[in-house]
């Protein structure tokens, strides 16, 4: 197993703690950092193994990586203009926990998004 390249983690942080491998790679390129796509993938995987980052899936199936320590939040997205608001999810956290316990699930995570039409649209 390989150790994570620290520049990958630092870039993921800078990306807002939420990005796909391809996005991390492109971001590093744009910033003039010399790194291979393979190393980005390997580093992210290693960070996942070490439970330093979380991985989940976009709707299109692409894996996105998220800093675990980062404040966990959810999104309110406008279907028309794409505008996004980050929102608090305390109610969801509780709901997920209760439901999981009730059905004997462990190591649970969750996804939750709200989408609609914003006031400007």
Partner DNA sequence: AGCACAAATGAAAATGATTTTCATTCCCAT
Partner DNA sequence: ATGGGAATGAAAATCATTTTCATTTGTGCT
Which spans of this chain sit near DNA (rule: CB under 7 A)? Answer: 1-3, 5, 20-22, 34-39, 41-43, 45, 61-63
Q: How far is the CB of 83 from a second copy (least distance, A)?
A: 10
Q: How far is the CB of 90 from DNA (least distance, A)?
A: 29
Nearest to DNA of 60, 102 (CB atom): 60
How many angstroms separate the most distant Cα atoms in the chain?
Answer: 50
Count the neighbouring beta carbons within 10 Å of the beta carbon of residue 19.
21
DSSP-derived secondary structure for 25-58: HHHHHHTT----HHHHHHHHHHHHHTTSEEEEE-
**Residues that bind a second copy in the complex, under the rule CB under 8 A:** 57, 61-63, 76, 78-79, 85, 87, 89, 91-92, 94-96, 99-100, 103-119
């Amino acid at each position: 197993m390989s150790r994570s390249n620290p520049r990958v983690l630092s870039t993921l942080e800078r990306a807002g703690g939420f990005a796909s491998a391809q996005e991390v790679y492109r971001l590093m390129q744009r910033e003039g950092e010399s790194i291979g796509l393979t190393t980005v993938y390997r580093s992210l995987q290693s960070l996942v193994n070490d439970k330093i980052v979380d991985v989940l899936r976009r709707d299109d199936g692409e894996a996105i990586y998220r800093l675990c320590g980062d404040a966990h939040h959810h999104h309110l997205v406008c279907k028309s203009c794409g505008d996004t608001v980050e929102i608090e999810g305390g109610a969801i956290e509780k709901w997920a926990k209760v439901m999981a316990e009730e059905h004997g699930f462990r190591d649970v995570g969750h996804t939750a998004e709200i989408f609609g039409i914003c006031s400007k649209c």
